[in-house]
Amino acid sequence: MLVKAGLSPMRALRAATGDAARCVGLERVSGTIAAGKYADLVVLDGDPLADIGNTRRIHAVICRGRYLGPADRKRVLAEVETAAGAPHPHG
């Protein structure tokens, strides 16, 4: 949506990461990759600077330094949806 509104892909990614962390006072521990910060990353199967739609092509997630592959992500999302009381779209 940010790119559709006129931001470049790079600016949209910065707004969603470093700028967002700064807005909520977490820039010392989140928002960018650096020693001492949370080890939270999304590994994509395509370059989001070439096509911002590649942000939806998630290969893996690193959360608190732990690798979450496709099966792990599906399980975690199902647990979150159950906790939130939302029906799970995949049964």
Say if CB 29 and CB 15 are below 8 A apart.
no
- pLDDT of 86 reads 66
pTM for the predicted model, two decimal places: 0.72
Whether the per-residue pLDDT at 91 is higher than 70: the answer is no
- Alpha carbons 28 and 14: distance in angstroms, whole number: 15
b vs e for 13-32, b when ≥16 Cβ sit within 10 Å of the residue's Cβ?
bbeebeeebeeeeeeeebbe
Quote the DSSP letter at residue 55: G
DSSP alpha helix (H) spans, the chain: 9-16, 18-23, 70-84
Whole-number average pLDDT of the chain:
90
- List, for residues 45-87, the tens digit of each pLDDT value: 999 999 999 999 999 999 888 899 889 989 988 999 999 986 6
